C-alpha cells in the first residue's frame, strides 16, 4: 500500500511539475576582463528568461569553452539568482584561459552550457538534491577570438 501511495504521489508531482513554462537561455558575447602574463579571463553574460507565472530558483551553471575544437576550460558555479515570473535575469560567467592554450592567430570558439533550476516546493527541491529531476536550459555561443587583440595589440 505504501508503494502505491508513493507512486501516486510521484506521478501527481510529475504532472503538476509539467505545468511550469520552461525558461530559455542565450549568451551575450564575451569580453576580456582581466589579463596577466599567464592568462586572460573572458566574461560572458548568460541571459535567462522566464515567460511563465512560476518563480524558479536557479541552482548551477555548467559551461565549457572550446577553441578550434579543443576544450580549454570547463566550469561550474552557483547561479546565485532566482528567475522571477515573467522576468529576465543575467548571470556573469568567468572563463579563465591560459595564453598557452590559445592558438597564435584568430580562431573560432564555442561556449556551451546549461543552467539548472528547481521547481517551487520541497518535493521538487528534494528531487533535485537527490539527482532524480534536474530541469535546465541550454545555451551556446560561437564566435571568433583573436589572442593578439586580447593581449592589447
- Residue 138's domain is classified under what CATH number? 2.60.40.10
Predicted pLDDT at 41: 95
| 1 is a domain residue | no
| 86 is a domain residue | yes
Spell out the SS3 assignment of 95-130: EEEEHHHCCCCCEEEEEEEEEEECCCCHHHHHHHHC
Look at the chain and report how many structural domains it folds into. 1
| 137 is a domain residue | yes
* 72 contacts 101 by C-beta, under 8 angstroms: yes
Structural domain boundaries enclosing 124:
22-145
Burial class (CB in 10 A: 0-12, 13-18, 19+), 15: exposed
Predicted pLDDT at 3: 52
| 16 is a domain residue | no
Helices 122-129 & 2-17 angle (0-180, nearest 10): 100
| 60 is a domain residue | yes
| 4 is a domain residue | no
Predicted pLDDT at 18: 52
| 32 is a domain residue | yes
What are the cell numbers at 82?
Answer: 532566482
Number of H helices, E strands in the chain: 3, 8
Note down pLDDT in tens along the chain; length 153 residues: 455 544 444 544 444 445 789 999 999 888 898 999 999 999 999 999 999 999 999 999 999 999 999 999 999 999 888 999 999 999 999 999 999 999 988 999 999 999 999 998 899 999 999 999 999 999 999 999 998 888 875
Q: What's this model's pTM, rounded to 2 decimal places?
A: 0.82
For residue 11, give the nearest of 120, 116, 134, 123 by alpha carbon: 123
| 9 is a domain residue | no
Amino acid at each position: 500500500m505504501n508503494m502505491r501511495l508513493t507512486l501516486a504521489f510521484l506521478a501527481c508531482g510529475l504532472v503538476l511539475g509539467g505545468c511550469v513554462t520552461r525558461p530559455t537561455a542565450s549568451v551575450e558575447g564575451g569580453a576580456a576582463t582581466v589579463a596577466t602574463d599567464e592568462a586572460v579571463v573572458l566574461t560572458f553574460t548568460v541571459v535567462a528568461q522566464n515567460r511563465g507565472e512560476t518563480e524558479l530558483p536557479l541552482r548551477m551553471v555548467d559551461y565549457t569553452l572550446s577553441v578550434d575544437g579543443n576544450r580549454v576550460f570547463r566550469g561550474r558555479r552557483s547561479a546565485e539568482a532566482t528567475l522571477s515570473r515573467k522576468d529576465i535575469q543575467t548571470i556573469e560567467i568567468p572563463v579563465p584561459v591560459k595564453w598557452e592554450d590559445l592558438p597564435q592567430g584568430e580562431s573560432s570558439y564555442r561556449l556551451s552550457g546549461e543552467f539548472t533550476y528547481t521547481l517551487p516546493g520541497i518535493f521538487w527541491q528534494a528531487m533535485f538534491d537527490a539527482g532524480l529531476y534536474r530541469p535546465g536550459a541550454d545555451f551556446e555561443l560561437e564566435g571568433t577570438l583573436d589572442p593578439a587583440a586580447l593581449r592589447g595589440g
